Structure 1
Amino acid sequence: MEQRIDAKGLACPKPVILAKKAMDACGRNDVVLITVDNEMAVENLRKLAASQGAEYASEKLGEKEYSVRITVTGENENKTQTEIPVTCSIPAADNTVVVISSREMGNGDEVLGKILMKGFIYALTQLPKLPKTVLLYNGGAYLSCEDSESLEDLKKLDGEGVEILTCGTCLNHYGITEKLAVGRVTNMYEIVEKQADAGKIIRP
């Protein structure tokens, strides 16, 4: 039996988790073929295969496309709750931080600005390489709170491993601390630290 998994665009450690679930459902000599878009995922899948006593092979198909073949040998079938070995560290060059300081994008019409900001945050969820962190402060603090039109998109980013950090001073100032609905509260020191360490900063 052969199972195919398209894991391109999925944040670490999802490719490994999907592969492990497929392997658990396989019998001896069954094959799991996983397509990923980065070398870190390839290496994590190699570690997974080694930890399960499975056969492993990989091939680079294109600029951002790799094929990994894992053949289940059954050598690990008597082990339970095996820890999945993954490395999810992000190189400094890929440490992109998105800084949002308002509910509106740009200057001018307020209604248009809110529409543009909603579209901007949705567009973030569609990027092939997601940012590492989204910083929300001043008016941007409203975006991570209840009733925000961008809340579901921010939750999607959070689910993919993106840090969603909202300024605590700003939440307190606007009286919306109890309405925070995604991510966690941060402080000015961490806001400065995240931007100082960023490989790239995006401001809408």
Structure 2
Amino acid sequence: MLTIDARGEACPIPVVRTLKALAALAGPGSVETLVDNEVAVQNLTRMGEGKGCAVASERLGEKEWRVTVTTDVALGVSDAEAESATCEVPTPGAPSAAAPAARKVVVAITSECMGTGDDVLGRKLMGSFVYSLTQLDELPATVLLYNGGAHLSCEGSAALEDLRGLAASGVEVLTCGTCLDHYGIADTLAVGEVTNMYVIAQRLTGASLVVRP
């Protein structure tokens, strides 16, 4: 078994280090990763399960977890392939009929407000924008929520039901885990998945069009 001490390391470094260690095993085996936040545990679990591995997590202390990822086969992947595999998280049960169009439109929302000036108006405009997304003939492939935009996917958000509608229609809704932790709202996420900066970078660079309201 390989052990990685990723405590104190920002997301998504624990995921990348763990996946590279799994590839380095060159056969069946386990990688044990120590982390200091629940978002890292979730990301490691998602990565492991996405690669067909068995994943077990254990809380060791107030801010310490151990995540053990076990593979029965060799995971011979390159660094680039490893990062790509980390990013690809299937959305169970997404209706195929409403899948996004071939053109990859990514909506990147970085604030609760749309535009600058009056925040009350800005919040109203953002709510209208998210609602308008649900009415488009061509849905976006992904909605990314980071920095202040992370609030929109959490309980109490005026845009929550519209984001849920987008997710139910097959749109990928991803919220930055580091941002959720920073604002202390990780426990209130109510739609979509927690993600990391590699995924955000991949979605932005792989998009046909990036929309920033």
Asked if these proteins are the same fold (TM beyond 0.5), I'd say yes
Equivalent residue, structure 2, for 1:191: 200
Superposition CA RMSD, Å: 1.6
1:138 corresponds to 2:147: yes
Structure 1, gaps ≥5 residues long: 1-10, 16-87
Query: CA-to-partner distance for each residue in 1:98-146, whole Å, 9 max, x for gaps?
Result: 0000000000001000000000000000000000000000000000000
Equivalent residue, structure 2, for 1:102: 111
1:160 corresponds to 2:169: yes
User: 1:89 Cα shift?
Assistant: 8.0
3-state DSSP class of the match of 2:152?
A: helix
Match of 2:151, as an amino acid? Y
User: 1:14 Cα shift?
Assistant: 3.4
3-state DSSP class of the match of 1:155?
A: helix
Of the candidates 149, 161, 175, which is equivalent to residue 158 of structure 2? 149
Match of 1:177, as an amino acid? A
1:127 corresponds to 2:210: no
Query: CA-to-partner distance for each residue in 1:5-52, whole Å, 9 max, x for gaps?
Result: xxxxxx96238xxxxxxxxxxxxxxxxxxxxxxxxxxxxxxxxxxxxx
Sort the Cα spacing of 1:150 and 1:136 in 2 relative to 1 into closer, same or farther, 3 A. same
Equivalent residue, structure 2, for 1:14: 97
Deviation above 6 Å: which 4+ runs of structure 1?
Answer: none
CA distance in 1, matches of 2:167, 2:190: 11
CA contact (8 A) 2:100 2:171 kept: no
Q: How many residues align?
A: 120
Structure 2, gaps ≥5 residues long: 1-93
Query: CA-to-partner distance for each residue in 1:136-171, whole Å, 9 max, x for gaps?
Result: 000000000000000000000000000000000000
1:178 corresponds to 2:176: no
What TM-score does the superposition give when structure 1 sets the normalisation length? 0.57
